[in-house]
Amino acid sequence: MKVSSPTKLFALVLLLAALITSALGQGNRGGGGRGTRVGFYRSNCPRVESIVQSAVRSAVQANPTIAPGLLRMFFHDCFVNGCDASILIDGTSTEKTTGPNSLLRGFEVIDAAKAQLETACPGVVSCADIVALAARDSVVLTGGRSWQVPLGRRDGLVSQASDTTNLPAFNDPISVQIQKFNDKGLNIQDLVTLVGGHTIGTAACLVFSYRLYNFNNTNGPDPEINPAFLPQLRALCPNGGDALRRVALDTGSVNSFGSSYYENLRNGRGVIESDAKLWSDRRTQRFVQGFLGQSGSRFNAEFGRAMVKMGNIGVKTGGQGEIRRVCTATN
C-alpha cells in the first residue's frame, strides 16, 4: 500500500488501531467487560435496576431461600453457553430440567421482574440482564456489598440439557474444578471467590451424606470433616433418612453473606466435598487464607469483581440472540 503523506500515514495508523480494538472486543470467553457496559439502559429504560431490585426484595423478604437460588441461577446460566438466560427456558429437555438445575429457586422472581419491565419499557431489557441484576441484589439483601453490573446481554436461542455436563459438581476434585473454571476464562482466585457464594444457602443431604458414613467404601466418614462437626451433620442427615432435607452450607450463616464460609472451610466444616477440598489443596488454600480474618471486606470486594468477570462469559450482544418477550420461551 502506497502512503503519500504523513497525514495519510497517521490516518492509516488510526484505522489499524480501530480495527485491532474492534477485533479484540469480539471475544467474551472470560469477560473483561467487553460487550456490556454500566448504564446500558440509561436512556431507554432508566428504572430497570429499581424494578428488578423491588421484585427481588419482595421475594426474599417473603422467603429468604430465594436469595441463594437467584445467585446460583446466574452461576449455572453463565457456565452453560454463556450468560444468556438459557437456563430460564421451559421444555422437556432444557437446561432447567437437569439434576443440578432442578432444585434452583427464584424463576418466578425473574418472570415477575420481566413482566414489570415489559410494561415500563417493552422489548428493551433482556432476561439475561435481569438474572445478572437479581444475583447482585440477592447478595446485597443478605448483607453483601453492592457492585455495578455491566448490562447489554441478549438472550440465547438454545437450551439443551446435554449442555450442562460442564457445570461444577459437588464431588469434583480440585484439578477438575480448576479446569472447568479455566475453560470459562476464570482463574483459581476466581474459583475460590465465586464458590464463596455458598456463604448463603443450603444443600440437600443427598449431595453430601456419602461423606458421613461410607466415604470411598471405607465404612467411615470423610477424614476431612472435623470430628466435632460430624455428629451435627449425622443428626441432620441420618443414614437412610430424608435425602432432600436441606442443610446450611455455611454453618451459622445460612442467610447472611460474608466470609465466615472460609472460616468453616479452615475448621473442617465444609459441608460438600468440593468445598472442603478448597482448604486441603494448596493451590486453592492460599486464596482461602486470603479471605480469613478481615471481617469480610476483601471477600466482598473480590466477589463483586469476580461476578462481573463471570457475567461476561459468552455474552451475546449486537446481532446475536434476541430480547425475549417472556423469559420462559424464545420469541
Query: Is 64 assigned to a binding site?
Result: no
Helix-then-strand count for the chain, H and E: 14, 2
Residue 95 marked as a ligand binder = yes
**Is the dihedral angle over the CA atoms 157, 163, 166, 169 positive or is it negative?**
positive
Examine the residue annotation and report whether 76 is marked as an active-site residue of this protein. yes
Question: What cell does 261 get?
Answer: 464460609
Q: Is 199 marked as a binding-site residue?
A: yes
Half-sphere exposure of 258 toward its Cβ, with a 13 Å CA cutoff?
14
227 carries a ligand binding annotation: no
Instruction: DSSP for 80-114, please give it.
Output: TTSSSSGGG--STTSGGGSHHHHT---HHHHHHHH
Q: Distance between CA 253 and CA 265 in Å, rounded?
A: 13
Catalytic site residue from 40, 68, 74, 76 = 76
What is residue 65's three-state secondary structure? Answer: coil
Residue 124 marked ligand-binding: no
What count of other Cβ atoms lies within 10 Å of the Cβ of residue 213? 16
Q: Is there a binding annotation on residue 275?
A: no
R_g over Cα of the chain:
22
Query: Is residue 168 annotated as involved in ligand binding?
Result: yes
Check whether 122 is labelled as a binding-site residue.
no
Q: How many CB atoms lie within 10 A of CB 125?
A: 27
Residues placed in the known binding site for Ca(2+): 77, 80, 82, 84, 86, 95, 199, 250
Residues placed in the known binding site for substrate: 168
Residues placed in the known binding site: 77, 80, 82, 84, 86, 95, 168, 198-199, 250
- Residues annotated catalytic, as ranges: 76
Residues placed in the known binding site for heme b: 198
